[in-house]
Each structure stands twice: as C-alpha cells, then as structure tokens.
Chain A
C-alpha cells in the first residue's frame, strides 16, 4: 500500500511538473518574441532619438540667447507668475510589460505635485498615462494614444498649442513635461522639464545680435515651434526608453524561464527515477513473494 501510494504521488507529480514545464516554455516563447521585437524597434528609436538631439540642443541654445540678449522686452512666455494651477504633460507607453518604464515616470509625476493644494491638469501621451490619470480622477485636458512610435511634427504642434493657449489665457501658470530620458539601451531615467514659462539663462558672451524684425517678433514666432519640438523630443526619447526597458525586461523574463525549465526538468527526472525504482521494487518483491 505504501509503495503504490508513492507511485501515485510520483506519477501525479510528474504530470503536474510536465504541464508546468510546457507552460513555462510557451511563456518563454512569448517573452523571447517580445524581446526580439523590442530590440529591433529599439535600434530604430535610438537612431531617431540621437538624430533629434542636435536640432533640439541648437534650438534651446538659440532660445536662451534671445531671451537673455534682450531682457527688456516683454513677452507673456517668460513672465513667472505665482504658481496656482499647473499643467503636466506626461509621456508614458501604450503597452505594459516594460519593467518599471511606465510606473517610474507616472510615480514621478504624482510625487511632483504631492505638496500642491490642487491636482494639476493633465495632457496624457500614451495609453498607460491616460488610463492612470483617468482612474485617479485627474482633470485630463487631452489624451493621446498610439502616437509615440512615429510622432509627426503636426501632432506635437497640436499638443504644444493646447499648452500655450492655456498658459497665455492664464488658466495655468506653469507647464511641465514628464518623460523618460534615454541614457543608454540599458539605462533610462524619468525626467521632468519645465516648458513654460521659459527659463532665461544668462549667457556670458552673446555678442550684439541683430534680430529681424525685432527680438519680440522672432521670439513669439519661435515659442510655439520650440514648445512643439520640446514635446516631440520628449516623446522620441521616451519611446526609445520604452523599447530599451521592454527589451531588458523581456530578456530577464526569458532568462528566468530558462532557469525555471532547468530546475523543473531536474525535479521531473527525479520523480521519474523514483517512480521507476518503486515499480522495480514492487515487481521484485511480488516475484520473491510468489517463489
């Protein structure tokens, strides 16, 4: 009786282990496929992020130069008001399964207004960002999904115009973008960047520059474009980060699946061996009992 009981447990165990190995195997297939997709997308996104940087850096430098070269002109975009209402533009992914990518940037946005009297207004970029803030009853001004992979200048301009209009109308006193900076394929950092009002950085050597027709005109003309470029840049960086984060997460998952399959096969073989041993003992003891 004792022996048959062990055989039953062992064979039941074997079946369960076999089922488990199979399910881990199919999960591994999925994570492996996702890893491959993410690494091919990462290559493209990385190139895009790197190519966008010189434009953004030059534009930023020029804006600072204009803003500091002529401090006596007045434009609504550089005036710092008392901050009562804020607008957050939060860039997250459209899908999960990317490690801490989504939660890191969303957490950062939530932490940033922890001391405020009221919740900020939100422009959500990415499905996960929209869902997150909708669930928590934020005032969502606009929500965009599935635009990150191939963001068009026009889309970025639309988003920028909403923010600029709200700022110019005095509905919000500050506009902040939350995004994930692409440091390398292995490392991505959530960042926040104040868009409006514009920072005026004092430069030591700006020389005497002629503005055609006037600094105000040039400035007011570029602010919308600048804001749009900033948003576009944030989205492009975030998208590259998302793919990097997903690739790393899926690589880890695939490795874990490998390790699990290995230890499960060990268990399976042990169970198989012990069931064979008990069977042999059964037969031998049965035979010796008859003789």
Chain B
C-alpha cells in the first residue's frame, strides 16, 4: 500500500505527523477507512477508536470528538483527545468509569445524565482501546 501524509492534532499537541498506509476512524455515521488517493472527504468524528497502519501494522488510539479532513495533499485529523493504546492509564480509566456510573445514578436532570453518559462512553472507549494490547 502506498503511504500518504497524515497529521493528527489535538489542542495540546501534534500527536502524529508522518506517513501512514491506511486509516480507519469512527465517524458519527460509522467506521470509515481511508487509503491513499481517497477523494476529498470530510466527516465529524465521535468517541471511538482510530487505527492507523504504519509498516503493515495497525496502531490503535482512543479518540474523542473531532473532525477528519482528506484532501489531495494530505489528511488531517483534528480531535479533542487522542491517546495511543499503550499510553492509556487503565486504572485511571476504570476509576473514571466508576465515577461516571455513580454520577449517572445520582443525576437528577437530563443534562446531568447526558454529561455522565458522555464521560462513561469516553472511559469505556479508553478501556476498550487498551484491552487490544493484551
């Protein structure tokens, strides 16, 4: 597979700036795969996993909300957070999951429930992503 340019940028830093052979991201409508020569494409990303192939091997990361933009020259992924599977602190994610579950139970308004569910889905996503390492 021909490699192509990819940039992954979060508000904190540039997570990745290099070449990849294939990208699979979770958009709001489902998983989408990108190969070299893809048509110009733009979609919003939800909470989910992202996989990028480097030298024939997939690298996995947990991402939350953002946007992917494919143009002729390069592909750009802008996300709020992006954690590689091997960088995820599983204990912290478990703690966040429990805290979110408790908050959901204690929540009184719809907004609080939504907030807790968003937290929960992010925690679960991180745990899920990390579990692929084992």
Contact A55 B42 (CB under 8 A): no
Known: A212-B42, A218-B44; 12 extra A-B contacts, CB below 8 A, are: A52-B11, A55-B11, A55-B78, A58-B9, A65-B42, A211-B41, A212-B43, A217-B44, A225-B80, A229-B11, A232-B11, A233-B11
Give Cα A221–Cα B67 distance, bound, in whole angstroms: 9
Contact B78 A212 (CB under 8 A): no
Contact B78 A62 (CB under 8 A): yes
Give Cα A209–Cα B67 distance, bound, in whole angstroms: 14
Contact A221 B44 (CB under 8 A): yes
**CB-contacts of B18-55 with A (<8 A):** 27-29, 32, 39-44
Chain A proximity mask over B60-84: 1 for CB below 8 Å, otherwise 0: 0000011101011000101011000
- Chain B residues with Cβ under 8 A from A225's Cβ? 65-66, 80
Contact A209 B13 (CB under 8 A): no
Residue of chain B at shortest CB distance from A228: B80
Contact B11 A209 (CB under 8 A): no
- Chain A residues with Cβ under 8 A from B39's Cβ? 208, 210
Interface residues on B, range: 20 to 34
A153 on interface, CB distance cutoff 8 Å: yes
Give Cα A209–Cα B71 distance, bound, in whole angstroms: 8
Can you list 14 residue pairs at the A/B interface with Cβ under 8 Å?
A51-B13, A59-B78, A62-B76, A66-B42, A208-B39, A208-B40, A210-B42, A211-B43, A212-B32, A213-B28, A213-B29, A213-B43, A225-B66, A232-B11
Residue of chain B at shortest CB distance from A215: B42
Contact A211 B78 (CB under 8 A): no
Interface residues on A, range: 20 to 34
Main secondary structure, interface of B, reads: strand
Give Cα A232–Cα B42 distance, bound, in whole angstroms: 24
- B24 to chain A: closest CB distance in Å? 14
Task: State the A residues within 8 Å of B (CB).
Answer: 51-52, 54-56, 58-59, 62, 65-66, 153, 207-213, 217-218, 221-222, 225, 229, 232-233
Contact B67 A55 (CB under 8 A): no
Contact B28 A217 (CB under 8 A): yes
